[in-house]
Structure 1
């Protein structure tokens, strides 16, 4: 019993020492740490001590999020929390200016109210980062980007925003971003968004250098992605009946994770340096043999579009790890396709094959090595790796 008591006392002292060390940090570091927390939690720090009483009022990043374990919270309750938090925080003077806002109702069964969004935008003075995530539980409802954009322009945030993240948002206007006039926006991330009318929606963002499309639906429209300053592009889980054209003269990094490469119509990437690709292949031994052949054609077309890459990573999913032996590795089975055309790669130096588990004993056949390195100016320095990756 005594030993247990001593252990408990030691644990309490250690906790107090850690707490004291945290309290001794400068205010700006404390504010940065608190900026990663939900607003529900940062308010609670005010009861820790006199030092902490008003620290939450000076946090520059506000995260209003319906947490997973609060998924049944009523819409009125969430609204009450947001309004009360802003009123208790006080006026947005220069010392407590809000530079980042996240409003996330992803776990709620209702949609974000436009007037509540406007209340937050009115409170914030000069935003540099904004994240808005609609509900995935309210299946048939998406946040309307036109309504969000109207609030942004009314409070002039469109001029200062550098990073914008949208989730479950409906983009009905083909020039949705260009019509807003995002003069400072460099980073745009869209998750689960729908495009009703697609032309070249990103061309109107002159300084955009990073774009990510995740689980977006293009429905029956084709999409063109062009950007004179675009440096990084990631496309993941995008559904498209028509196709996607990418024209980016300065693009350095391209990541493509998709069910099929069929949606990619044209790639013009003259400055490409690094490419990471993962597409679904199917099981050659099953009923999908015809689809696999078609997917191989799409894959070859994709590789031709990546011909300027110096580093190429091919990722494969866990499900195929157990199916493939050396002779079943996809590229080893594509001899006729790879020998029927000249290698498109002129600068390739590194070819990496990633698996989610420990790499199986696979070697690439000669025709595969020739296809990737035959015309490369870096062929003498080529590096081929099979390694454990981060794919799921």
Structure 2
């Protein structure tokens, strides 16, 4: 690896001498005042951040890409090893700085050779961080990567995080390839929040006793993991089975599902449904797209009502305008399938910025559907 092609991944600490920029005067009394002023100036420059506890500094570092957190080791001896016990790791290829510039700022059309160097540097950095950090527990690990060639590195990172009792794990792999999660993931005792996007192959069963939040986005299912005699997918419909008695938060984005819960979800506190009544069809190369709308039929609304039935214990319920429009289209179904949302405190309607006020209107029957058994519930509109 030549120094001209790639920047140093883990920088060494540089020690610089402080220079006194205070000017002196020919007058003796003036000299005394200037000298005193310089001392006060030095005192006012006291490094207050370095005097903070490791825990607070780690929290500050959690808001930045881990590359920047590692680079703080050059500040002083106090900072030299702080990053090695950092419990928050953020490996985002889009904000990863290469030669001082984040990847996303290189522009949409990068030279293939340059892109290869950036990607190689990114994954090399991940390896070095895991090798050099202290063996302390992790709180949160986030990673976003693009290339299939480094899938093994991603698996190693996940295994490392699980071995260090990570509580929150977010994996976004946009390269489109499949990778299998480590076996230790399926029975992890420490995981409280999981966000998986695109590529992970999910097994038939998960035993995560501490899990409070699960977010699955475009995950993959194979015949090796599921018994297709009892599982079917038709068009954009899907069946979601939940067996998580301690689940507190549920987030769903997509077309109307059929949700079947094998337990009473009494612990649910917050449920979010971003229902879609259309899909986008087009050519990504020329960036020309057309909105294709799905016909809303009684069966579609009936599935939505059955889904909401499983979350009747929720204290906060967020629905997209598409879901409200679907419920408003067949008000007679709302009278037949009245649900007791006894715990409901907040009904939140997600309104897109491009929608007009007229389109945001809803029928009173929809409000009655949710508020009949919860007189103290509040209606809010959110973006």
Same fold (TM over 0.5): yes
Q: 2:259 aligns with which of 264, 268, 289?
A: 264
Rounded Cα–Cα distance in structure 1 between residues aligned with 2:314 and 2:158? 46
- Which structure 2 residue ranges, 5 or more long, are not aligned? 1-40, 96-101, 104-114, 229-234, 280-290
Call closer, same or farther: CA 1:316–1:268 in 2, change over 3 Å.
Answer: farther
Q: TM-score, with normalisation over the residues of structure 1?
A: 0.59
Call closer, same or farther: CA 1:282–1:43 in 2, change over 3 Å.
Answer: closer
Are 2:160 and 1:121 aligned? yes
Per-residue CA deviations over 1:343-372 (Å, capped at 9, x if unaligned) read 122516444433234882666545434433
Q: Find the counterpart in structure 1 of residue 69 from structure 2.
A: 42
Q: TM-score, with normalisation over the residues of structure 2?
A: 0.60
- Contact kept, 8 Å, 2:351 with 2:381, in 1: the verdict is yes
Aligned positions of 1:23-34 closer than 5 A: 23-34=50-61
SS in 1 for 2:145: coil
Call closer, same or farther: CA 1:206–1:267 in 2, change over 3 Å.
Answer: closer
Q: Find the counterpart in structure 1 of residue 370 from structure 2.
A: 372
Are 2:332 and 1:336 aligned? yes
Pairs aligned (count): 302
Q: Find the counterpart in structure 2 of residue 110 from structure 1.
A: 149
Call closer, same or farther: CA 1:214–1:53 in 2, change over 3 Å.
Answer: same
- Which structure 1 residue ranges, 5 or more long, are not aligned? 1-13, 150-157, 159-163, 165-176, 224-238, 321-327
Call closer, same or farther: CA 1:316–1:110 in 2, change over 3 Å.
Answer: farther
SS in 2 for 1:245: strand
- Contact kept, 8 Å, 1:75 with 1:110, in 2: the verdict is no
Highest RCO, 1 vs 2 (Cα 8 Å, sep ≥ 6): 2
- Contact kept, 8 Å, 2:242 with 2:261, in 1: the verdict is yes
Per-residue CA deviations over 1:272-298 (Å, capped at 9, x if unaligned) read 454332212359xx9857445442232
Q: Find the counterpart in structure 2 of residue 307 from structure 1.
A: 312
Call closer, same or farther: CA 1:34–1:368 in 2, change over 3 Å.
Answer: closer
- Contact kept, 8 Å, 1:304 with 1:344, in 2: the verdict is yes
Q: 1:142 aligns with which of 172, 175, 178?
A: 178
Per-residue CA deviations over 1:33-77 (Å, capped at 9, x if unaligned) read 335444432333233344434444443444455345445336654
Bigger-Rg structure (1/2): 2
Rounded Cα–Cα distance in structure 2 between residues aligned with 1:104 and 1:212? 15
Per-residue CA deviations over 1:364-385 (Å, capped at 9, x if unaligned) read 54543443344x2x3xx24452
Are 2:86 and 1:59 aligned? yes
Aligned positions of 1:207-246 closer than 5 A: 207-218=210-221, 221=226, 243-246=239-242
Shift in Å at residue 116 of structure 1? 8.7
- Contact kept, 8 Å, 1:277 with 1:315, in 2: the verdict is yes
Shift in Å at residue 106 of structure 1? 0.9
Call closer, same or farther: CA 1:384–1:243 in 2, change over 3 Å.
Answer: same
